[in-house]
Structures are given as structure tokens and as C-alpha cells.
């Protein structure tokens, strides 16, 4: 049983560019959350998707957007990249539409903005 998978593993972008990160949830999970983890910090909640809709959003600007597909996989899009967007982006999935149960995290995508 595959766990949460994310792609790509690493990514280097230039300021002002746009990036798309992808996540496939653990089998049987229908809820996907995205987190940003800056170096030396704990993960910060970006948003959560359930039934193909954004259910809750953290304190991130509109440059951060997402999507969930019918197969429950998800994308995170970041527009107009800033140097401060450099971080590890983590995807987490959980079952049953109840986001408060334990979340299973993927290995993350390391984004570097130069």
C-alpha cells in the first residue's frame, strides 16, 4: 500500500515564475492538506481540500492556490514566486473527510527560489 507521494522531489525556480507541486494521497484517503515548512521551522498550514473544494485556508496570500481531482490527488500552485517561498512543501492526507484525525505526510517537495 503506497503512502502519500509527492512530485517532484526538488525544484529550482526563479523569482516571478510559477510552480505546480503534486500530491497523491494514501489509498483510502479523500482529504488532502498542504503545509509549508521553512528551514528550521515547523510546518505551517496552507489549505485543505475535500470533495474537490478548498475547505479551510491558512494565512497565505492568494498567490497560493490549489486543486483536488476526482481521484483525490491534489496540486499546489504558487504564482509570482518570491525568495521567501523557498521551503519544503508537505502534503498530508487523511481519511473520511474529517481533517482532525491523524494525517499522513508525504516526503515533501523542496522548492528553491533564486
- Residues forming contacts to another protein in the complex (CB under 8 A) are 4, 6, 31, 33, 35, 40-45, 48, 55-56, 58, 90, 92, 98-108
Q: Rounded CA gap, 111 and 77, in Å?
A: 12
Name which of 14 and 84 has its Cβ closer to another protein. Answer: 84
Q: How far is the CB of 70 from another protein (least distance, A)?
A: 21
For residue 36, what is the enclosing H or E element? strand 29-37
Please, what is the minimum distance in Å from the beta carbon of residue 39 to another protein? 11
Compare residues 16 and 96 and give the one whose CB is closer to another protein: 96
Smallest gap from residue 105 Cβ to another protein (A): 4
Alpha carbons 113 and 92: distance in angstroms, whole number: 23
| Bond preceding residue 27 cis, omega within 30 of 0 | no
Identify whether the C-beta of residue 45 lies closer than 8 Å to the C-beta of residue 55. Answer: no
Amino acid at each position: 500500500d503506497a503512502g502519500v507521494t509527492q512530485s517532484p522531489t526538488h525544484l529550482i525556480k526563479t523569482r516571478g515564475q510559477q510552480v505546480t507541486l503534486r500530491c497523491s494521497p494514501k489509498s483510502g484517503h479523500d482529504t488532502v492538506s498542504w503545509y509549508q515548512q521553512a528551514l528550521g521551522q515547523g510546518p505551517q498550514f496552507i489549505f485543505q481540500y475535500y470533495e474537490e473544494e478548498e475547505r479551510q485556508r491558512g494565512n497565505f496570500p492568494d498567490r497560493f492556490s490549489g486543486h483536488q481531482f476526482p481521484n483525490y490527488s491534489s496540486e499546489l500552485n504558487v504564482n509570482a514566486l518570491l525568495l521567501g517561498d523557498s521551503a519544503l512543501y508537505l502534503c498530508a492526507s487523511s481519511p473520511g473527510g474529517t481533517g482532525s484525525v491523524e494525517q499522513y505526510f508525504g516526503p515533501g517537495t523542496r522548492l528553491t527560489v533564486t
